[in-house]
Every structure is written in structure tokens, then in C-alpha cells.
Structure 1
Amino acid sequence: MKLSESMKKNANFKSVYKSGKSLANTYLIMYVMENHTERNKLGVSVSKKVGNSVIRHRITRLIRESYRLNEEMFNSGLDIVVIARAGAKGRNYLEINSALLHLSRMHKILKETTKS
């Protein structure tokens, strides 16, 4: 079941930049803001400073896939914008996935898991 949708409108990105909380690590910057709905919206931004279009689209796909595979771990009702830093260039899936989950833990937007 798809729990989130893609953020496409520039106004949505601007509102998250303005009102959301941001944290960063070596590869990514993450802005998070509550959207008061049942679904998450994920926006990915990769600047031309990171590389050519092939590199930028690859990083975008890695971030989206990482989020998709871990989607059930995230709390719902959030607007999330992930910005790739220049350090993300040439990184593999595991490194991007680790960076995304690290920022999610720092933002405390992952569901609490009980160990049995």
C-alpha cells in the first residue's frame, strides 16, 4: 500500500523550507514539516552543482527507492524534502539509505519499534 505521494509544486517546497525543521549529514539535507493529513509527501531536490543530469537523476532514484523501501517505518502526516549535497555524487544505495535513515532518526520521524 502506498503511504505517500510525490511533492511536485514549487510552492510546497518553499513552504517546507520556510516552516520546516532542517538537519543535515555528509550526503543529504532533510527538511520536515507536519502536513496534518494521513499521508506523507516526499520531495527530492538535486542541484546542478552535484553533477550532470544522469548523476542527478541517479541520486534522485536512490533517495526515492530508499524512502519507498523504508516507508512503513516513517510516521504519517509529514512533508519531507530531501536535498542531495555534492558529497552524494558517486555514492551507492547503501550509503544513501544509511544517510536517509540517519537523518530520519535525528528528526525523530521514525515509528517506535518494540523489540520482542
Structure 2
Amino acid sequence: MKNKKIIKKNFEFQEIINKQKFYRNSSFVIYYTKNDKKYFRYGISVGKKIGNAVTRNKIKRQIRMMIQDQINKLPEFSYDIIIIARARIMEKSFDQNQKELIKLINQFLK
């Protein structure tokens, strides 16, 4: 079954980023825009400055896990979000990063 909640296309990333609605902290930048669907979609980007492919894939897996843990806890919302990991993500633990990510998501839902 195809996962409809993941944004993979480059033009979709660019559309969301070009709208210039974002929140950021030391570990993440989240770009967001409202969509016309009944569910939220997300995309994850980890730059090459953070590390080699193994490290970047590990960070992507961790971010996906953070989102999966919170899907049932968060209210239903119809947004497209792009999560960009920053270099400081490597300095913090998984729990600290998860708290920061959820805090950012809750900021634009208010």
C-alpha cells in the first residue's frame, strides 16, 4: 500500500518552501502550508553537511519515528510540512530532539 502521507517530489518541496511560512529552532526548520486534503503530509530533508549517507539515513529514520509516535497524540490537521534537520541535531539526544520537533509542530497548529 502506498503511503500517501510522505512528500517526495522536488517540486512539492519547493512549493512549500517558497511560501516562506516556517518555524525554526536549533535542531529543525519546519516549513508548512495548508493543504486541501483531510490529512497531513510530511517530507524530511537532511543536508550533506550533517554527515555521510549512513548518518543522514539514521537521522531520517529517527525523524520518521518521532512523527509516527505523535500521530495519534496530535489532533487532525490538514497541513503539508517539510522538516529540515540542522547540524545541531547530532549534539542532542533522541528525546531532546523529539521534544523540540513536537514543540515546533504545536506552534503552527495554534
Common fold by TM > 0.5: yes
Alpha-carbon deviations, 1:15-35, whole Å to 9, x = none?
Answer: 000125111001000011011
* Structure 1, unpaired ranges of 5+: 110-116
SS in 2 for 1:29: strand
Give 1:35's aligned residue: 35
Considering only aligned residues, what root-mean-square deviation do their CA atoms show, in Å? 1.8
Give 1:25's aligned residue: 25
* TM-score (ref. length: structure 2): 0.88
Give 1:16's aligned residue: 16
SS in 2 for 1:5: coil
How far the C-alpha of 1:69 sits from its partner, in A, is 0.9
Give 1:113's aligned residue: none
SS in 2 for 1:61: helix
* Structure 2, unpaired ranges of 5+: none
Alpha-carbon deviations, 1:76-101, whole Å to 9, x = none?
Answer: 21101000000012533212211111
SS in 2 for 1:105: helix
SS in 2 for 1:76: coil
| Total equivalences in the alignment | 107
Alpha-carbon separation, structure 1, partners of 2:18 and 2:75: 22
Alpha-carbon deviations, 1:48-96, whole Å to 9, x = none?
Answer: 0111111111111111110111013043211010000000125332122
Give 4+ residue runs of structure 1 displaced > 6 Å after superposition: none
Give 2:100's aligned residue: 99
Give 2:84's aligned residue: 83
Query: Percent identity of the aligned residues?
Result: 27
